[in-house]
A and B are shown apart, each in its own frame.
Chain A
Amino acid sequence: MEGSGAEALLRSVCAMNDPEPREMLLSIAPSALPIGISGIEKRFGGVSVLRDLSLDVAAGEFLTLLGPSGSGKTTLLMILAGFVRANFGSIKVGGEEIITTPPHRRNIGMVFQNYALFPHMNVFHNIAFPLKQRRVSAADTAERVEKALDLVQLKGLGERRVDQLSGGQRQRVALARAIVFEPRIVLMDEPLSALDKGLREHMQIELRNLHRRLGMTTVYVTHDQREAITMSDRIAVMNAGRIEQIDRPEVLYARPQTRFVAGFIGDSSFIPVECRNGSVWYEDRKIRMAAMAPSSGSHLMVVRPEKLRLVTDAEPSGSVNVLPATVGDVIYQGDSFVCYAVLRDGQQVTLRDYCRSDVLAKLPRPGEPVNLGIDAEDVVLVAAD
């Protein structure tokens, strides 16, 4: 499966996205430590919330726990912070076991979902709070708070009361408070979920840049797959207390290993296929795929809307598979259009393409028969459940 042409392309794409090599950044923040989570088990009453969960986070890595509500991602974060006690397991930070260390001695910064700013303190005292607990001198505190305010672009707002701040500003104060004492690890529990869309996207970029500058090991929790893809070095997709797949965003998107991951990250249609003697069959058509086909059994072909395209030829040619279908509906969305089509066996698939003039000229109408093409490179199979 690995090492195909698509893979090489992906690597070059992410190299473009990541102009500064990570190794260089790590040298800026020598305090970043790796986290080793192993065998974590947590039950509430009789219900298992986390099952034998193991996960390694590299020093300076930005790792996202992504999953639907109830998948256990927040519980895992609470166990990392020390607010929830696990039934079994071990958490090591830089090789040191912290599973029984009380929260106030863990030296882990955390950004809460609702920010949890102290309403009876102004911005300065909120950010100075962790320094006060560590008995940092007043002069030193003032200097470090000033620096932290500068870092989150809130210079000069130290005297503001918390209720005089906008949502985005509170978010930044919470962030400044979580990093001002230079913690070894920073945890973030859906910190952007209360912001509106535009601000959220802006903060995603800002958080990512801040992480690159400071290089602290970060564990980020979200249920927003787009946010996870935008920000993370690696994403751990969680479902029902387990990690379904953990990998870099581009690999997760291109090569999901389970139906859940394929469905949770990006849009997908699933086409049932049959594997016989090392080749893959959809009805009477042999599906060409670049990766090794499983030898036997029922599988699902993961079809991403943007990987499908309209082709004129009804017969497969070269490395392109062709699926005949009937157009159900075409929805114009300005920059792009979405075409819902039904395959011969009644299976619905979705196609998305940008509205270039050549595409718009040949836009199909509802009820019209079309041929959908998908490259062998883009064919991904997951096990049918």
Chain B
Amino acid sequence: MQSARFEDLGGPHGTLNADALRADARRESFGLLALLSPGLLLVFTVIIVPIGWLFWLSLYDETGALSAANYARFFEQASYIRTFITTFKVAFFVTGACVLLGYPLAYMLSQLPRRAASICLIFVILPFWTSVLVRTYAWLVILQRKGLANSWLIDLGVISQPLPLANNFAGVIIGMTHIMLPFLVLPLYASMKTIDTDCLRAGMNLGASPAATFRQIFFPLSLPGLASGVVIVFVLCLGFFVTPALMGGGKVIMWAMRMEQTTSLYSNWGAGAALGVVLLAVTLALLGLFQWLLGARATGVWSSR
């Protein structure tokens, strides 16, 4: 079948077998597309279609009429704006706490010998294998008014009154930081591992003290990993539900909790869908912003091969 299309050497110079080669290239790209199609189909049915449907739902009010009422509500009701601010405040504090705790941890892991590091990494990853619900309840047991932390501190005589650690903003931050920490530590650790030890040695050799070497060489080189960890944690925080719902004691209302209330309590699917669309849009905008701010540095300057 193919051999019939092959030309003789007698054809015009420079076009020998041009058609056959073009057809071969086309066959190859069709073949690759065929291999790709199950994945594309899956993405389309489980991501694109539901999101489109969500967006569609958000355009109808309770009576089923097409309207922008669901979006207008964001600007009219102060409680929505409060929820929005709370969500960002929580995400901001949790990310900050994760950086403060996670950076030294990742640094320590990256400096340990390989075997010790992999043992310590297990302790970082272990919580991943436990249900978020279980971990959150465990924190409640520790932090509540008559919990472990308060009773120990009172027994030791450090405090006389129990500290308000659970069912408030602080409780949400503590619980979420614990859940989010691995998402910061793992990318940060991976990027710290790629920092060339000879670069640090060169720094010291050229006269920089260990502290100066850290500040001028290690820290700047770890920034891309830190940036990706921060983005992951921040974005995950924006849509987090279980921990704030349990640890906040109803006082800390985040975006995802608002969505749950709207849909299951008030059965207002249009309003819930609008909340989801706004969260998605804000998240995408944030990712774009991070990319714009850090992308050039993260991908350009030190992607040296």
Contacts and interface: CB of A to CB of B under 8 A. Distances in A.
Given A112-B198, A119-B221, A120-B220, A103 B204 contact: yes
Interface residues of A, number: 30
Interface in B185-212: 196, 198-199, 201-210, 212
A109 interface: yes
A112 B207 contact: no
A83 interface: yes
Contact of B196 (A83, A103, A114, A178): A114
A99 interface: no
A104 B209 contact: yes
Nearest to B198: A116
Contacts of B302: 119-120, 163
Given A116-B198, A118-B199, A120-B220, A104 B204 contact: yes
B218 to A, nearest CB: 11
Interface in A158-202: 161-163, 177-178, 181
The number of chain B residues touching the other chain, given as a range, is 20 to 34
B202 A133 contact: no
Contacts of A117: 199, 202
Interface string A83-113: 1000000000000000000111111111011
B207 A104 contact: yes
A260 B186 CA distance: 49
Interface in A114-141: 114, 116-120, 129-130, 133-134
Interface in A60-93: 81-83
A83 B201 contact: yes
A344 B207 CA distance: 63
B221 A181 contact: no
Contacts of B196: 114, 116
A133 B217 contact: no
A133 B209 CA distance: 9
A116 B201 contact: yes
B217 to A, nearest CB: 6
A129 B301 contact: no
Q: Name, among B204, B221, B305, the residue most crowded by chain A CB atoms within 10 Å (CB to CB).
A: B204
Contacts of A163: 302-305
Given A107-B207, A129-B208, A133-B212, A120 B202 contact: no
A105 B206 CA distance: 9
Given A114-B198, A116-B198, A163-B305, A129 B206 contact: yes
Nearest to B216: A129
B201 A118 contact: no
A117 B202 CA distance: 8
B304 A133 contact: no
A136 B208 CA distance: 13
B220 A104 contact: no
Which 10 pairs, one residue from A and one from B, show the smallest C-beta to C-beta distance?
A163-B304, A133-B207, A116-B198, A130-B206, A119-B302, A116-B202, A103-B204, A119-B304, A104-B204, A110-B205
Given A119-B302, A120-B221, 6 more contacts: A103-B201, A103-B205, A106-B205, A112-B198, A129-B208, A163-B303
